[in-house]
Amino acid sequence: MLVAIAFAVAAGLGGFFIGRATKSTKTVAAAATTPASTTVDPHVAAGAHDFVNFACAQCHGLDGKGHVSNFVPALKAFSTLTAAQLSDIINHGRGESANPTHPYMPVWGQVISSTQVNDLVAYIHAGLPKVPTATPVDVPSGQGAAVEGQALYTLYGCVNCHGPNGLGGVPNPQSPDKTIPPLSGADFFKQFNTDAKIIDVIKSGSVIGKAPIVSMPHWGGIIPADRLNALVAYIKTLKTG
Ligand code: HEC
Ligand code: HEC
């Protein structure tokens, strides 16, 4: 019996070291194929990272290639828009309806700085090229819904509007509350006291006014049902009082 356990432990350790060895070989190989001289225009690079961080990629597809939702256009074809036109669309959206039934271009002007908008425009005008490390965060699986939801909160850019840990406080000066609401605290959990209510508002969005007022984007058709559940599981781990 003891011998069998010792054998199993040894086999496990062996597997562990083989796993590590394979991993480090891969890393070395990848580094060797990336020429040290590769540089990316800093504005294009910043724009590529912004495109991921503000979840443009989650609606318009990686590298703006589309295929996420029939309601969201791919972006390459639009790089003929002037810088002024692109900035205006990013800052003000495209005029959302009072009761959105499908995704619309969010209003970003209060959330994204003019420097970041200029970088996004540089990236779009450069044809949305691949930029090393400008890739969406990994979403862990098999570690529970709340862990998955925490990654999704970053992946879908919720964090940019609702703050780290759902603390809120991002200015939205022309809205009634003057800030984008927190997703934590007694008031939030009193109003959103069931999973269904939280999921409903994420799916439908909530238009509180015209640009420059920032509203809650419509994520129905963008975020799959299991991921909506994971986002709720994460939100319910945040401060309740
Ligand atoms: C919630 C989904 C969503 C997100 C996130 C999003 N967009 Fe959009 N975007 C849309 C939709 C939908 C349209 C089509 C116009 C409309 O219906 O409002 C659009 C339109 C656009 C257009 C104009 C294309 C056209 O002519 O209609 C540009 C440019 C654009 N988005 C850039 C961005 C950038 C840059 C970001 C990130 C800062 C971003 N989008 C984030 C949904 C999204
Ligand atoms: C562009 C900014 C923006 C982004 C990105 C965004 N939200 Fe919102 N969200 C808002 C605003 C503004 C409201 C307030 C709407 C209202 O008052 O009707 C809101 C409201 C909500 C509410 C209801 C809270 C309340 O008190 O009204 C929930 C829940 C929510 N968002 C979850 C999310 C999740 C989850 C994500 C990511 C998938 C997300 N939001 C992404 C701006 C944003």
Mapping DSSP onto H, E and C, the string for 63-130 reads: HHCCCCCCCCCCCHHHCCCCHHHHHHHHHHCCCCCCCCCCCCCCCCCCCCCHHHHHHHHHHHHCCCCC
Predicted confidence at residue 196, as pLDDT, reads 98
Instruction: Work out the pLDDT band at 18, boundaries 50, 70, 90.
Output: very low
Residue 199 pLDDT grade (very low, low, confident, very high; cuts 50, 70, 90): very high
User: Which ligand has the shortest distance to the CA of 201?
Assistant: 2
Ligand 1 pocket, mutate which of 49, 60, 215, 216 (most atoms under 8 A from CB) = 60
97 pLDDT more than 90: no
Q: Looking at the domain covering 42-125, what would its CATH class be?
A: mainly alpha
**pLDDT tens-digit map of 109-165:** 999 999 999 999 999 999 999 999 999 999 999 999 999 999 999 999 999 999 999
Higher pLDDT, 199 or 24: 199
Q: What is the pLDDT of residue 25?
A: 42
Q: Is there a shared CATH topology between the 42-125 domain and the 145-235 domain?
A: yes
In the prediction, which pLDDT does 78 show? 60
pLDDT grade for 99, boundaries at 50, 70 and 90: confident
Q: 212 preceded by cis ω (within 30°)? A: yes
Break the chain into its structural domains and give their ranges.
42-125, 145-235
| Predicted local distance difference test score (pLDDT) of residue 221 | 95
> pTM for the full model?
0.88
- Give, in words, the CATH class of 145-235: mainly alpha
Between 91 and 4, name the one with better pLDDT: 91
Structure tokens at 193: 């006291």
Q: Taking all residues of the chain, what is their mean pLDDT, rounded to a whole number?
A: 87
**Spatial separation of the C-alpha atoms in residues 192 and 135, rounded to whole Å:** 32
Q: Whose CA is nearest to atom 15 of ligand 1?
A: 105
222 Cβ closer than 6 Å to some ligand 2 atom: no
Residue 198, ligand 2, Cβ within 6 A = yes
Q: What is the mean pLDDT of residues 211-230?
A: 96
